[in-house]
Amino acid sequence: MEIKWVDSHRISVCTDHGAAVISANREGLLSLAGQLTALAEAVPGSHIHYDDGNSLEDGSAELIVEKI
């Protein structure tokens, strides 16, 4: 599965009273949309791991999205 990013993407993830809050600019949302579409076509068990070391803004909570 190829993970593509739209230039100038900005995405952050935080938790608020047990809820995951994903905040993103236009480019971030377009990046996520493409990646989730690719994940939908992948085999069950495939996943995308997001963290502040590879894709999210500094201080963001980790996010893992998995296809079941």
Domain boundaries, the chain: 11-66
Q: How far apart are CA 51 and CA 33, in angstroms?
A: 17
pLDDT tens-place string over residues 12-27: 999 999 999 999 999 9
**pLDDT value of residue 2:** 87
pLDDT tens-place string over residues 16-60: 999 999 999 999 999 999 999 999 999 999 999 999 999 999 999
Helix (H, G, I), strand (E, B) or coil at 59: coil
Nearest one of 7, 1, 49 to 28, comparing CA atoms: 7
